[in-house]
């Protein structure tokens, strides 16, 4: 998986915030069903998907999981230090293997820019 720049980053607008380095410790994974993921195709795979997802939760790889109420898909908050790590985990899930689910991955970390407000330099 190549590291594509996040379109939500506006470094030219907020250069001070862009200069604050923070570590990634969570990944927001927004799953969407692909064209291959018809209800008929997903139904027999779903029990395996649920068991694999529960295993990842019990292994501490998935912290929280949700179903999108406005759309169709899942949202995970994952314990991972990179989008590549999260991608590797998600591609091993049965719907990922079958090409029926894609994920948008967003790296998350501590709100380091708050350090500017209290006069303490953030720790990398």
Q: Which string of DSSP letters, residue by residue, matches 73-103?
A: SEEEEE--SSHHHHHHHHHTSHHHHTT-EEE
Q: What is the pLDDT of residue 11?
A: 53
Q: What is the pLDDT of residue 24?
A: 82
Asked if pLDDT for residue 3 goes beyond 70, the answer is no
Asked if pLDDT for residue 12 goes beyond 90, the answer is no
Asked if pLDDT for residue 27 goes beyond 80, the answer is yes
The pTM of the full predicted model, rounded to 2 decimals, is 0.77
Q: What is the pLDDT of residue 70?
A: 86
Tens digit of each residue's pLDDT (9 = 90 or more) over 66-82: 999 987 889 999 999 99
89-104 average pLDDT score: 96
86-115 average pLDDT score: 91
Whole-number average pLDDT of the chain: 85
- Domains in the chain and their CATH numbers? 23-118 (3.30.70.1060)
Q: What is the largest CA-CA distance in the chain?
A: 57
Question: Residues 33, 72: contact at Cβ < 8 Å?
Answer: yes
């Amino acid at each position: 998986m190549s590291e594509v720049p996040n379109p939500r980053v506006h470094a030219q607008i907020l250069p001070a915030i862009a200069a604050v380095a923070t570590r990634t410790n969570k990944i927001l994974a927004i799953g969407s069903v692909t064209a291959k993921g018809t209800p008929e195709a997903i139904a027999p795979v779903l029990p395996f998907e649920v068991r694999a997802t529960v295993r990842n939760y019990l292994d501490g790889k998935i912290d929280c999981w949700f179903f999108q109420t406005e759309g169709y898909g899942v949202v995970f908050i994952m314990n991972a230090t990179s989008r590549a790590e999260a991608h590797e985990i998600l591609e091993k899930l049965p719907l990922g293997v079958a090409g029926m689910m894609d994920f948008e991955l967003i790296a998350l970390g501590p709100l380091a820019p708050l350090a500017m407000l209290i006069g303490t330099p953030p720790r990398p």
